[in-house]
């Protein structure tokens, strides 16, 4: 029997797809256990099939929609396409394979059945939203499409079925929004083209807001939008809802790999391999009429932590209007006047959700014709101050335990508590020239810039900037990171600027409507004054006040809830926390913040004082041992005084002093006047000094004549430093007999046990003589930095001569990877873009490579000296994920910069609780 061949290409495509799907189904039937084949894996779940525990598979949004469905809240019933489908999309070359496409269509049919509407049907259309939803909250980083399923035929049928002119306006409003959003998100046509058309229409009609445009205006706009689409893309806007849906799902998967999402993931330690889920749900319309609206709310104030319902609401609007700051919303409390029944139900839902999740909730909702619908809930982003208060309050309310309170705070956010605030006296004397909403606390001052690119460029040349925008969008993320603070004309407490700034801990003032902005010419007017790019400005993210000029800042003070959380953290952590400090001031600040000792004192930093550098340069340029010793004798009393001050600041807590580490060329003069002064002091010619300086040049100084190698060639340097350490310890011990001063002398850059033995013998001979001459009973320790891979692999041999190990992960990372930390920035971006690395190995410890070396060294060292203490003192000592690794491999302490001590304390506690 013969069949006529179809001529239409689309029909051919459908036939081929059907045949391919039939083959897939036939293949499925050959397996009794579906898990044995990729196509048998379930990639789609109705909301009614999931729960909050399925976060990894359904993403945070999907899991919470499922959980809200499970507890009986009014959620429009749709389905979630899993994170595994996203992973599969990338494995299949950024394509949704036919099997997953077929499964999606099965669930579209289920959604149609539940909702009693038909997707793509002109008479009874089902319109949907398509939203991203990674397992970790990434506000504003990925994409959403609303009102999907509209086309000319559906629009006309909907209007024909409802003669109300307001309904016609609603339909065309929804249609133009969909065209704009689909064009922007799915087809990557810049939204600026459509915004210009909207502005032209408003100007033509003499109105201020979108809401003032009529149905006829919006209909005309929709036609203009489609014409713009064709102009930009070269083909007509797609009218087939199935095509629209498939393209939208691809766009959400694609958005997982967009630049702003990649930046956010790197900053927040979110692996690329996680992927994002896609949530498809029936539309509910806040823009239906004046009896409808949309809002965002928090069960507690995300800026202060106060226990009160806080949020914003817009009538006759869709969710994007609130988040994008297109219109300035009203406080959530005013919703009660507009929709009393829906507000009453919403308040009940808020209480139920916070009680259910035992945390402050961030919710998105819509009211359609007076009926409430919940579109999202999640644990809300909050400032560090709010996080501490909320955690303490939840413990006091018997909702969570102390351990849970410790676990719910992101250690990285504590950083924002420790940054400067405005000087109180200067602030009192200053007069605000304007006021917006205090969207993210803190103080920021700097020079005005108007674009994200300018913020990045100005920061790179050393300028502090405040980014001033009409409103921010996700594309501004790099500029927001580069800025000291963010100021926007539009938007509320839940706008993009506010939410992202709070998450980053960046000061933000939003919604200052008094600003007359001229972004194109890079200027704005406020309080009768015109401000241009580069003018100084100060903003207060707590009060929302805006000031002309620069207001001085002071260090933040910490008390109250911070102390309670830190107390709980100290109660449960196992790791000790020390600090990297070279001055008494830094040491005292670290102790105030909870440091339990110094894990790294870099003695070379002490040599750059003007009085000392001259003597040290004399030592470098000396010809004999006697000349070098004479120069070092000038430095020794200063070194001793330095160490005494550190011991005094630490009040008997451990102090680890690293002996001279950098190559000598770092200390020699480069200015002609300094060279001449050194020549005169040495009694040498300028030419001779220049020859000495040239001879110190090394092709790879980081792997050159430095660290313990300096002591091997110039033992007198280590002898001087040992005398200074021991004499200082004896002097302070005499002044404070109740303190237990135990100097820890750390030898850097050891790669061979014999190398360490040589230096150790020099140190011990000198130290023992000093102690004997003083008639003191001082105990001291000699250990080493493990920062060369060979040292880690031969740690058992090195432990014969070392009483402690401290892992210098900056150099260990550098030498393990084989690239310079100073130059890696030139190419690491390409590594991130190509998914070779997901994070900077100098910021976050490489646990597979560098971590394996550390683990090996710990085990080998403990085999020889079970009692030896071990720590880490690189930049990784303040990184939460690296601290957890240190806990797991059995280190005794981490050491970090003073202002990261609280972060380390909290991260150490979380590691102990998590791995109990």
* 783 φ/ψ angles, rounded to the nearest 5 degrees: -135, -170
Tell me the pLDDT band of 915, cut-offs 50, 70 and 90: very high
Catalytic residue among 392, 873, 886, 896: 873
Percentage of the chain with pLDDT > 90?
A: 68
User: Would you tell me how many other CB atoms lie within 10 Å of the CB of residue 447?
Assistant: 17
**Residue 72 burial (CB count, 10 A):** 8
pTM: 0.80
Using an 8 Å Cβ cutoff, are 269 and 844 in contact? yes
User: What percent of the chain shows pLDDT beyond 70?
Assistant: 93
Report how far residue 884's alpha carbon sits from residue 892's, in angstroms, rounded to the nearest whole number.
Answer: 12
Record the tokens describing residue 308, joined without a space: 């009160």
Q: In what order do the strands lie in the sheet with 330-331?
A: 330-331, 310-315, 293-298, 361-368, 371-379
Burial of 279 (0-12, 13-18, 19+ CB in 10 A): buried
Q: Quote the distance between the C-alpha of residue 912 and its chain's center.
A: 23
Contact 187, 229 (CB under 8 A): yes
Amino acid 557: pLDDT: 60
Please state, in angstroms and rounded to a whole number, the distance separating the CA atoms of residues 171 and 283. Answer: 13
Q: Name the H helices within 545-620.
A: 561-572, 584-592, 610-620
- Rounded to 5 degrees, φ, ψ at 774 are -85, -10
pLDDT of residue 638: 93
Determine the Cα angle at 722 with ends 717 and 728, to 5°. 130
Q: Which two tokens stand for residue 206?
A: 């003499």
Q: Rounded CA gap, 902 and 411, in Å?
A: 8
Give per-residue pLDDT as tens, 209-234. 888 999 999 999 999 999 999 999 99
CA distance 122 to 158: 8
What residues have CB less than 8 Å from 891, skipping those under 6 apart?
575, 807, 858, 870, 871, 872
* Predicted local distance difference test score (pLDDT) of residue 820: 80
Among the listed residues 791, 722, 728, 724, the one whose alpha carbon sits nearest the alpha carbon of residue 756:
791
The contacts of residue 340 (CB under 8 Å, 6+ apart) are: none
Give residue 141's pLDDT.
66
Chain-centre distance of CA 83, in angstroms?
21
Weakest-pLDDT range from 14-18, 401-405, 673-677, 838-842:
14-18
DSSP string, 321-347: HHHHTSSPPEEGGGHHHH-HHHHHHHH
Do the beta carbons of residue 29 and residue 105 sit within 8 Å? Answer: no
Helix or strand holding residue 817 (H, E): helix 809-817
Do residues 347 and 299 touch, judged by C-beta distance below 8 A?
Answer: no
Q: How far apart are CA 226 and CA 220, in angstroms?
A: 10
Q: How far is it, in rounded angstroms, from Cα 188 to Cα 493?
A: 28
**217, 129 Cβ separation under 8 angstroms:** no
Each residue's pLDDT tens digit, 45-60 = 999 999 999 999 999 9
**Does pLDDT of 196 surpass 70?**
yes
For the beta carbon of residue 219, count every other beta carbon within 10 angstroms. 20
Of the pLDDT bands very low, low, confident and very high (cuts 50, 70, 90), residue 35 is: very low
In the prediction, which pLDDT does 668 show?
A: 86
**Residue among 449, 432, 675 nearest 544 (CA):** 432
Distance of alpha carbon 777 from the chain centroid = 50
φ/ψ (deg, to 5) at 703: -120, 25
Phi, psi torsion values for 844, nearest 5 degrees: -125, 125
Question: How far apart (Å, rounded) are the C-alpha atoms in residues 152 and 91?
Answer: 36
Contacts of 785 (CB under 8 A, 6+ apart): 658, 746, 747, 748, 749, 750, 805, 806, 807, 808, 811, 873
Average pLDDT value for the chain:
90
- Choose among 104, 177, 173, 186: nearest CA to 142: 186
| 189 φψ region: left (φ > 0), alpha (ψ -120 to 50), beta (else) | beta
The strand pairing partners of 363, in sequence order, are: 297, 377
Query: Angle 152-114-175 (CA atoms, 0-180°, nearest 5)?
Result: 20
Return the residue matching tokens 């990674």.
134
Residue 551 is classified by DSSP as P
Bigger pLDDT: 869 vs 40 = 869
Asked if residues 357 and 380 have their Cβ atoms less than 8 Å apart, the reply is no
DSSP string, 44-99: EEEGGG--GGGHHHHHHHHHHHHHHHHTT------EEE-HHHHHHHHHTTS---HH
Given a contact cutoff of 8 angstroms between Cβ atoms, the answer to whether 432 and 527 are in contact is: no
DSSP 3-state of 190: coil
Backbone phi, psi, residue 291, to 5°: -95, 20
pLDDT digit string, tens, across residues 336-383: 999 999 999 999 999 999 999 999 999 999 999 999 999 999 999 888
One DSSP character per residue, 841-878 reads: TTTS--TTTHHHHHHHHHHHHHHH-TT-EEEE-SGGGG
Model confidence pLDDT, tens digit, residues 708-731: 999 999 999 999 999 999 999 999
CA–CA dist 408, 488 (Å, integer): 30
Report whether 585 contacts 449 (CB < 8 A). Answer: no
The pLDDT assigned to 506 comes to 85
Give the burial class of 645: count Cβ atoms within 10 A of its Cβ; 0-12 exposed, 13-18 middle, 19 or more buried: middle
| The predicted structure's pLDDT at residue 142 | 65
- Locate 809 and state its tokens: 């992960």
Tell me which residue has tokens 């809002």. 295
For 381-426, what is each residue's pLDDT tens digit? 888 889 999 999 999 999 999 999 999 999 988 876 876 678 878 9
Span of 78-92, 491-505, 736-750, 811-825 with lowest mean pLDDT:
491-505
In degrees and rounded to multiples of 5, residue 279 shows phi and psi of -110, 125
Give me the numbers of helices (H) and strands (E) for the chain, helices first please. Answer: 35, 31
Calpha distance 294→337 (Å, rounded) = 15
* Residue 868: pLDDT over 70: yes
Told to judge if 869 belongs to the known catalytic residues of this protein, a careful annotator would answer no
| pLDDT one-digit tens code per residue, 780-789 | 999 999 999 9
Higher pLDDT, 534 or 496: 534
Euclidean distance between CA atoms 50 and 62, whole angstroms: 8
E-only strand ranges, 470-627: 485-488, 507-510, 516-518, 523-526, 529-532, 536-540, 545-548, 553-554, 576-580, 598-602
Is the pLDDT at 674 greater than 90, yes or no?
no
Compute the distance between CA of residue 778 and CA of residue 768 in angstroms, rounded to an integer. Answer: 9
Q: Which residues contact 473 (CB under 8 A, 6 or more apart)?
A: 140, 324, 496
Pairing between β-strand 330-331 and β-strand 361-368 as defined by DSSP bridges: unpaired
- On the question of pLDDT at 861 being above 70, the answer is yes
Please tell me the distance from the alpha carbon of residue 770 to that of residue 766, in angstroms, as a whole number: 6
DSSP state of 660: P
User: What 3-state class would DSSP assign to 720?
Assistant: helix
CA dist 376 and 365 (Å) reads 7
Locate 450 and state its tokens.
């108007």
DSSP 437: E
Q: At what angle do helices 880-889 and 901-914 cross, to 10 degrees?
A: 50
Is pLDDT above 90 for 850?
Answer: yes
- Our answer to whether residue 356 is catalytic in this structure is no
Tens-place pLDDT, residues 297-339: 999 999 889 999 999 999 998 877 776 666 778 999 999 999 9
Q: How many CA atoms lie within 13 A of 490 on its CB side?
A: 16
The one catalytic residue in 86, 350, 445, 496 is 496
């Amino acid at each position: 029997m013969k069949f006529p061949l179809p001529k239409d290409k689309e029909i051919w495509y459908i036939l081929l797809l059907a045949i391919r799907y039939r083959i897939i189904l036939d293949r499925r039937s050959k397996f009794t256990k579906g898990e044995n084949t990729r196509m048998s894996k379930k990639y789609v779940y109705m909301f009614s099939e999931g729960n909050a525990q399925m976060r990894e598979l359904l993403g945070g949004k999907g899991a919470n929609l499922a959980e809200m469905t499970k507890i009986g809240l009014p959620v429009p019933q749709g389905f979630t396409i899993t994170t595994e489908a996203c992973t599969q999309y990338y494995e299949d070359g950024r394509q949704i394979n036919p099997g997953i496409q077929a499964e999606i269509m099965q669930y579209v049919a289920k959604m149609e059945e539940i909702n009693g509407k038909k997707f793509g049907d002109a008479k009874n259309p089902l319109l949907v939203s398509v939203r991203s939803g990674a397992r970790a909250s990434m506000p504003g980083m990925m994409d959403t499409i609303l009102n999907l399923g509209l086309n000319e035929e559906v629009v006309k049928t909907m209007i024909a079925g409802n003669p109300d002119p307001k309904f016609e306006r609603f339909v065309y409003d929804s249609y133009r929004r969909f065209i704009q959003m689909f064009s922007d998100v799915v087809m990557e046509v810049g939204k600026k083209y459509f915004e210009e058309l909207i502005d032209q229409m408003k100007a033509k009609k003499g109105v201020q807001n979108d809401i003032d445009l009529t149905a006829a205006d919006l209909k005309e706009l929709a036609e203009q939008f489609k014409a713009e689409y064709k102009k930009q893309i070269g083909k007509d806007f797609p009218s087939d809802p199935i095509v629209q849906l498939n393209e939208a799902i691809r766009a959400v998967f694609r958005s997982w790999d967009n630049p702003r999402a990649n930046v956010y993931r790197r900053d927040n330690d979110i692996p690329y391999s996680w992927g994002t889920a896609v949530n498809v749900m029936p539309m509910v319309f806040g823009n239906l009429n004046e009896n409808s609206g949309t809002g965002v709310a928090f069960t507690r104030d995300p800026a202060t932590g106060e226990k009160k319902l806080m949020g914003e609401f817009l009538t006759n609007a869709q969710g994007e209007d609130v988040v994008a700051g297109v219109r300035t919303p009203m406080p959530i409390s005013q919703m009660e006047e507009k929709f009393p029944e829906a507000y009453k139900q919403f308040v009940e839902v808020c209480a139920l959700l916070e009680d259910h999740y035992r945390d402050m909730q961030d919710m998105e909702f819509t009211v359609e014709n007076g009926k409430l619908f919940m579109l999202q809930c999640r644990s809300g982003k909050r400032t560090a101050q709010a996080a501490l208060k909320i955690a303490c309050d939840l413990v006091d309310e018997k909702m969570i335990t102390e351990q849970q309170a410790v676990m719910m705070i992101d250690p990285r956010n504590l950083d924002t508590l420790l940054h400067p605030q405005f000087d109180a006296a200067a602030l009192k004397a200053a007069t605000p020239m304007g006021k917006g909403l205090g969207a993210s606390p803190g103080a920021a001052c700097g020079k005005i810039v108007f674009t994200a690119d300018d913020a990045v460029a100005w920061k790179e040349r050393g300028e502090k900037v405040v980014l001033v925008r009409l409103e921010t969008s996700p594309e501004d993320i790099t500029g927001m990171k580069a800025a000291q603070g963010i100021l926007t004309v539009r938007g509320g407490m839940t706008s993009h600027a506010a939410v992202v700034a709070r998450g980053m801990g960046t000061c933000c003032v939003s919604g200052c409507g008094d600003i007359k902005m001229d972004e194109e010419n890079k200027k704005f007017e406020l309080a009768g004054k015109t401000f241009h790019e580069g003018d100084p400005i100060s903003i207060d993210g707590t009060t929302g006040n805006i000031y002309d000029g620069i207001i001085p800042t002071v260090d933040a003070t910490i008390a109250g809830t911070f102390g309670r959380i830190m107390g709980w953290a100290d109660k449960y952590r196992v790791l000790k926390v020390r600090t990297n400090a070279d001055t008494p001031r830094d040491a005292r600040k670290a102790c105030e913040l909870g440091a339990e000792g110094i894990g790294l004192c870099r003695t070379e930093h002490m040599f750059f004082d003007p009085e000392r550098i001259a003597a040290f340069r004399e030592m470098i340029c000396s010809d004999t041992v006697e000349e070098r010793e004479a120069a070092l004798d000038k430095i020794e009393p200063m070194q001793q005084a330095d160490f005494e001050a550190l011991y005094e600041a630490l009040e008997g807590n451990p102090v680890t002093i690293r002996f001279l580490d950098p190559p000598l060329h770092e200390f020699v003069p480069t200015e002609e006047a300094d060279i001449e002064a050194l020549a005169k002091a040495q009694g040498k010619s300028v030419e001779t000094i220049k020859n000495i300086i040239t001879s110190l040049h090394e092709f790879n100084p980081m792997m050159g004549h430095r660290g313990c190698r300096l002591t091997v060639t110039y033992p007198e340097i280590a002898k001087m430093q040992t005398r200074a350490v021991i004499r200082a310890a004896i002097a302070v011990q005499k002044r404070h007999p109740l303190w237990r001063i135990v100097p820890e002398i750390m030898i850097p850059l050891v790669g061979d046990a014999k190398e360490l033995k040589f230096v150790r013998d020099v140190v011990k001979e000198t130290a023992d003589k000093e102690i004997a001459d003083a008639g003191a009973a001082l105990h001291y320790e000699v250990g080493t930095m493990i920062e060369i891979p060979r040292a880690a692999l031969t740690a058992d041999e090195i432990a014969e001569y070392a009483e402690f190990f401290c892992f210098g992960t900056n150099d260990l990372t550098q030498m393990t990877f084989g690239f310079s930390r100073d130059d890696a920035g030139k190419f690491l971006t390409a590594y991130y873009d190509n998914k070779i690395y997901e994070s900077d190995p100098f910021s976050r410890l490489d646990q597979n490579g560098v971590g394996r070396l550390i683990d090996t060294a710990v085990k080998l060292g403990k085999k020889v000296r079970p009692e030896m203490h071990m720590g880490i003192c690189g930049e990784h000592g303040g990184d939460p994920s690296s601290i957890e690794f240190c806990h797991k491999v059995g280190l005794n302490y981490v050491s970090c910069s003073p202002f990261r001590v609280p972060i380390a304390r909290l991260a150490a506690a979380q590691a102990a609780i998590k791995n109990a």
